[in-house]
Structure 1
Amino acid sequence: MKYTVIGAGAMGLRYGILLQEHTNAHVDFIDAWQPNIDKIREQGGVYVSRDHENRQLIPINLYTPEDYDGDPDVWIIFMKQMQLEEMLKRCAHLFKDHQVAFSAMNGWGHFEKIAQYFSEDRIYGGTALVATVLNGPGDVDFIGKSGAGTMHMCAMTNKITDIEKAIFKDFKQANLNPEISDDFKGMCMAKIVFNSVVNTLCTMYQITMGQFISYPGAHDMAMQLINEAYDACDRAGIKLINTRAEELESVDYVSRIGNPLHYPSMYQDMSRGRKTEVDYINGYIAKLGRENDYVCRTHEFLTHGVHLAELAFQYHHNGDKTPMPTAQTADGAADKAEELAA
């Protein structure tokens, strides 16, 4: 099997490098972040650590979309939601009818974009409960011992195919611990609900997963978000692969045992001055609820809360440049309030 990973960030590097090291698969990488491209080419590969130790240089084949001419069997897509559309446009000339696409990105929104280039029967989704940190250009840290973490995978059509079995075999050999599901939307939503608790709350309060779960009220907070999300899914006719109790157990286990020292990817984005994917996680749950006559008030509040945390983080780390309202601004706000009230 030939794989090409679109997005040489934390998760893309983890999947691609583990496939490269533990299987007979040929693996290439495509990226668009120029500092990352320059650093990897300069040093001849990627520096890989595991739990901050045993840092070593792993050679990889890295290209931009414009200088790549490979023809993989499987595209593995790991981009940030906000960057995906542009990256797919740049790679469009490389996509062929015999190829399939696999993605285990966070949130919801990427499959609609991927479906513009791949038919539904050639799209496979996944979830990945594994922690990885991109320390900087060309430098990644795999969190957890070899074989740590779990993942699910499923065809968008919910049908198990020969190509999915072949991907599963390679993923298993690469110690990614895959499980095949037959419920695409239920599988994806289970991970979205997980992220809507851990990623969001850890980001808002700038704490690790272990610090979050150590709070005596963590289970109550998690259950409130889980119940609200599951109620929205019930109204939308989506049956998740986990029960509500199992979802809470997953939050507890991964936070307490699996990755207690880990800052989730949403926090990593905020701490580097990047936009978070909260609109595709809590924001998506809130949207799903409203589309089905159910208001997810907590998820809507937390979506705003993360955006406010992003703004606060910028103020705190760039000096206090808080814009003070002028008289004109205040009058404008008052006028707007009167307009809305009317």
Structure 2
Amino acid sequence: MTKYTVIGAGAMGLGYGVLMQERTANTVDFVDTWKPSVETIKEQGGVWVSRDHKDKHMVPVNISYPEDYTGDPDVWIIFVKQMQLADVLKRCAPLFKAHQYVFSAMNGMGHIDKISNYFPDEHIVGGTAMIATVLNGPGDVDFMGAARAGEMHMVNKTEHNDETTQQIFTDFKDAGMGPIMTENFMGTLMSKVVFNAVTNTLCSMFEITMGQFIEYPGVKDMTIQLMNESFDACERAGIHLVETRQEEVASVDYVSRVANPYHYPSMYQDFSKGRPTEVDYINGYIAKIGREHDYVCRTHEFITHEVHMAELMRKYKKQPAEQTQPVSQA
């Protein structure tokens, strides 16, 4: 039996932790720094769990602030927003021990560098998650789509999948997360980044579901344009993605049209609640790789600016119509 502790009781953290707790014999704790989450879960005695807004039930969980936690897990599971990760890791640092491993499948890129400040490479397992969850509110998570229909990739940072990495894989499989083991660390992580650089970003700007997004006839052309820039930048950086350009384009279509048509991507969930998005760690990260290797990802750079502009313009969204200025004919 493996002892897991999840850092971050948001949509994905609760998703992974609850599935692990409900479907396997492993023990699971949660650690979070967000007071509404910790206090709500403590007050209600657990987490409300639904699937597609149905069958809502309470799952008892053990949650603590980092300063109050006394557990000693075998594996940490980290799902924290990129912008908050450095501070959260600093608060959790006294809890980290030499024997422990860490798994993270956070959106975007940048988290592995921060995690590497606390764990050796051989104890870091990175991954991607095509498992849709929505946080309705503190302590209230909703799984989207059919049970056990999700998929994820995972790989040890050293690209040598040792015994503990294999055990984590087995536990994720038993929990119904559909894990796939790879031997290509950066190629695995970037395969999700380039996917999110299409669906998360565009759905967020237009505040639409993935199913609504795929209705537009020009989506395939837009996807190909963004994917070509992503792959060109990665190839110049010596990163070989685990999927081809054609497979990534097909994945955008399938996930949007068939797997999760009613799903709002996680970036939208931040955007709609007035929080900063992770666009700098997704489209912005791809653009950064490109510029570091003498290749300008003009579309990704433009979209990064567009998302930040949309974030800024949220302050005008609820302005009453009678207070708006007339539109010029120019």
TM bucket normalised to smaller = over 0.9
Cα distance in 2 for residues equivalent to 1:268 and 1:13: 16
The amino acid that maps onto 1:76 is I
2:283 corresponds to 1:282 = yes
Residue number in structure 2 paired with 1:335:
none
**1:319 CA displacement:** 6.6
Separation in 2 of the partners of 1:42 and 1:319?
Answer: 38
1:129-208 correspondence runs (5 A): 129-208=130-209
| Structure 2, gaps ≥5 residues long | 324-330
Counterpart secondary structure, 1:124: strand
TM-score by length of 1: 0.92
Alignment partner, residue 331 of structure 1: none
Partner amino acid for 2:314?
F
* Residues in 2 aligned to 1:80 and 1:266: alpha-carbon distance in whole angstroms: 10
Structure 2 distance, partners of 1:10, 1:136, is 9
Distance in 2 (alpha carbons) for counterparts of 1:134 and 1:181: 29
Is residue 2:250 matched to residue 1:246?
Answer: no
Q: C-alpha distance in 1, partners of 2:90/2:267?
A: 25
CA-CA distance at 1:101 after TM superposition: 0.7
Q: Offset of 1:314 from its aligned partner?
A: 2.6
**CA displacement, residues 163-199 of structure 1 (integer Å, 9 cap, x when unaligned):** 0110011000000000000000000111000000000
Which one-letter code corresponds to 1:270 in the other structure? F
Within 5 Å, which residues of 2 pair with 1:2-81?
Answer: 2-81=3-82
TM-score for both structures, normalised by structure 2? 0.96
The alignment partner of 1:182 has SS state of: coil
The runs of 5 or more residues in structure 1 that have no matched partner are 323-342
Separation (CA, whole Å) in 1 of partners of 2:152 and 2:89: 24
- Which AA in structure 2 matches 1:278? V
Note the C-alpha offset of 1:317.
3.4
3-state SS in 2 of match to 1:97 = coil
The residue number in structure 1 matching 2:270 is: 269
Residue 4 to residue 313, structure 1, CA distance change in 2 (3 Å): same
Q: 1:234/1:169 Cα in 2 relative to 1: closer, same or farther (>3 Å)?
A: same
Matched letter for residue 108 of structure 2: G
Give the corresponding residue for 2:305: 304
| Residue 318 (structure 1) shift | 6.5
Runs of 4+ deviating beyond 2 Å = 317-320
2:87 matches 1:86? yes
1:313 is matched with which residue?
A: 314
Q: 1:233 to 1:14 in 2, by over 3 A?
A: same
User: Within 1, Cα distance between the matches of 2:4 and 2:220?
Assistant: 40
1:262: Cα distance to partner? Answer: 0.7
Inter-partner Cα distance in structure 2 for 1:29 and 1:180:
25
